[in-house]
Amino acid sequence: MTNPTVLMTPRRPALVSGFDNTVDLLVRVQAPATPKATSERPPLNLAIVLDRSGSMSGQPLDEAKRCAGMIIDRLGAKDRAALVVYDGDVGVLVPTTQAASKATFHTAIASIHSGGSTNLYGGWLKGAELMAAVAKDNATTRILLLSDGQANEGITDLDMIAQQCAELAGVGVTTSTYGLGRHFNEELMIRMANAGHGNSYYGETAEDLIDPFAEEFDLLAALCAKQIHLHADLPESISFSVLNKFSPNQDGSYRLPDLAYEGESWAVIRLRVPKAHTGGGAGALIDLGSIAIRYLDLDGNPHKLSPLQVSLPSLLPVAFGAIAEDPLVTQRVRELEAANIQDRAQSAARRGDWGEVNRLLGEAKRNAKDNEWLGKVVEKLEELAGQADEAMFSKEAMYASRKMRSRLAGVSESASPSEPSPSYLRRKSEQGKGQPRNDA
């Protein structure tokens, strides 16, 4: 496979001399195009962990079983899967088994019936144990966890559960979560996915989850690099932050989303450059450090790409003011600003302060200038705010902001969300709804 390409673009390609500077850098790790003659992909190891608590009775459980069956049908003969169910108790209906035995899985899925309370952690832990036992460098190993309710048995502490998801991701077993309906704990489900370096989805109805399950499989089948880490080596006088709010690792690096064909994994880094480091304004290049990327290929082999040097010319204020902002960098920064606004609106909705929610949505609408996707997201949130629906507003705002910070972007993406693309690159205007077939 061709190595990923790393691009680094400043919002403005210069420093203004004699002033403290804020420098936004967009770092993009771009995948190659999907090979025309795709070689056999590395195998998948999946633990499908389904909530069968009493609240799942009826259509929700039927649709969840349908999603599980769909995933099984799309697995290849060399893939492996396990099927775990939980209510107050945890059951392993199918231990880790070659996916060629599809009838075994479908028989087990058909046998699932609703039960009692929700030991979410216990279900996840069993899936984790099964996957940790088979994790290999040349396989993508993931837990797919679905719940429609609050964790009310076993361990329920958010920090403890997130920490265990992070530890498991460190040995190659990631976690994706699927929330259903009004009553699941969106903060827990999103934190598990963030810590577990997987994806997080929700559906207002069980049928809405069919698209996310399909998207997840499309992504896993198209991966070309994983465990991507970004490390910034900067002078001591320069501080920086990652606007995507990725959590730093112990070595100071930041893990970006795994990379799939035709996509790019990206982050915006904000440097704070003191005026003493901005030069004399005569155009000389000022060294601001370097950005390095490392990753694993799908066989588990480590790679380090050549560091990118961050050097910008020092200009006087008049010359600096004549430089236009890069439109793509500005677009991504506005997406991250929109995510921050949505987080604040979600907090206000939980307090019942709908006046503040509406004020923040007005700010979000102004921020969405020239970005069709952001505008559509705000329209959905305005609809929920108009209904004063705290539960669904909270979920939609949290999932939309999470998507803006951690999504894979298309290599040739524009501000319009309507371009055709693989499902894992699409930008939905409503996170809790299934993707309309005529809406890319």
Percent of the chain with pLDDT over 90: 71
**Which pLDDT value is given to residue 434?**
74
Burial 200-229 (b: 16+ CB within 10 A, else e): bbbbbebbbbbbbbbbbbebbbbbbbbbbb
Contact 180, 209 (CB under 8 A): yes
**Which pLDDT value is given to residue 420?**
61
The count of residues in the chain is 440
Residues 6 or more apart whose CB falls under 8 angstroms from that of 337 comprise: 367
Contact 433, 204 (CB under 8 A): yes
Per DSSP, what are the bridge partners of residue 255?
229
Q: Are strands 282-296 and 223-233 parallel, antiparallel or unpaired?
A: antiparallel
3-state secondary structure at position 92? strand
How far is Cα 127 from Cα 392, in angstroms, rounded to an integer?
29
3-state secondary structure at position 101? coil
**Model confidence band, residue 351 (pLDDT cutoffs 50, 70, 90):** very high
Sheet holding 140-147, edge to edge: 90-98, 80-86, 44-51, 140-147, 173-180, 197-203
Tokens of 54: 């009493």
Q: Is the pLDDT of residue 415 over 70?
A: no
Other CB atoms within 10 Å distance of the CB of residue 252:
10
Tokens of 232: 């910034």
Contact 27, 291 (CB under 8 A): yes
Least reliable range by pLDDT among 32-41, 205-214, 325-334, 354-363:
32-41
Each as own residue / partner, the long-range contacts of residues 63-66 (CB below 8 Å, 24 or more positions apart, any chain) are 63/205, 63/206, 63/207, 63/209, 63/210, 64/146, 64/180, 64/206, 64/209, 65/109, 65/110, 65/112, 66/210
Give, in order, the Cα–Cα distances in Å from 176 to each of 122, 147, 190, 401, 411. Answer: 16, 12, 9, 17, 24
Supply the mean pLDDT for the chain: 91
Torsion of the alpha carbons at 229, 190, 298 and 414, rounded to the nearest 10: -80
The tens digit of pLDDT for each residue in 143-169 reads: 999 988 777 777 878 889 999 999 999
How far is Cα 123 from Cα 127, in angstroms, rounded to an integer?
6
**Model confidence band, residue 72 (pLDDT cutoffs 50, 70, 90):** very high
**Which pLDDT value is given to residue 110?**
94
105: Cα within 13 Å, side-chain hemisphere: 28
Apex 154 CA angle, 153 and 156, nearest 5: 85
Per DSSP, what are the bridge partners of residue 174?
142
Residue type, 267: A
The tens digit of pLDDT for each residue in 377-402 reads: 999 999 999 999 999 999 999 999 99
Tokens of 12: 């403005």
The tens digit of pLDDT for each residue in 276-295 reads: 999 999 999 999 999 999 99
Which residue, 254, 257, 276, is CA-closest to 266?
Answer: 257
Contact 351, 52 (CB under 8 A): no
**Which pLDDT value is given to residue 414?**
67
How far is Cα 226 from Cα 247, in angstroms, rounded to an integer?
17
Mean pLDDT of 25-53: 87
Cα-flanking dihedrals φ and ψ of residue 213, to 5°? Answer: -65, -40
pTM of the shown model: 0.90
3-state helix, strand, coil in the chain (%, to 5): 35, 30, 35
The tens digit of pLDDT for each residue in 201-251 reads: 998 888 888 889 889 999 998 999 999 999 999 999 999 999 999 989 889
Contact 426, 219 (CB under 8 A): no
